[in-house]
């Protein structure tokens, strides 16, 4: 079994951990945050991919809308 490691954690980091893991002791809040960090990073990466996909879809929609406006103007010009 590993020996526990003593780490000095800045007070503001403990405050942030308390916000994230309310109702836990300081050490439990920090431990919870450290344990949950990989999941959070994964979710953030997935959200960034989704935002990029939405940006691409928005750009494609804008291009189609421009083509539709152009077609409408051509019809009105007839």
- The whole-angstrom separation of Cα 30 and Cα 12 is 11
pLDDT at site 57: 98
Q: Whole-prediction pTM value? A: 0.64
Would you say 17 and 25 are in contact if contact means Cβ atoms under 8 Å apart? no
Q: In this structure, what token pair is assigned to residue 34?
A: 């450290």
Would you say 18 and 29 are in contact if contact means Cβ atoms under 8 Å apart? yes
Reading the chain (78 residues) residue by residue, the pLDDT tens digits are 788 888 899 999 999 999 989 899 999 999 999 999 999 999 999 999 999 999 999 999 999 999 999 999 999 998
Domain limits, the chain: 11-77
Q: In this structure, what token pair is assigned to residue 59?
A: 């750009």
Q: In this structure, what token pair is assigned to residue 28?
A: 């439990």
pLDDT at site 7: 86
DSSP state of 7: -
pLDDT at site 64: 97
């Amino acid at each position: 079994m590993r020996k526990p490691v003593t780490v000095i954690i800045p007070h503001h980091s403990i405050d942030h951990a308390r916000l994230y893991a309310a109702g836990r002791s300081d050490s439990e809040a920090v431990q919870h945050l450290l344990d949950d960090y990989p999941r959070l990073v994964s979710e953030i990466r997935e959200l960034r991919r989704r935002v990029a996909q939405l940006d691409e879809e928005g750009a494609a929609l804008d291009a189609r809308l421009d083509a539709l406006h152009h077609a409408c103007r051509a019809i009105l010009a007839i």
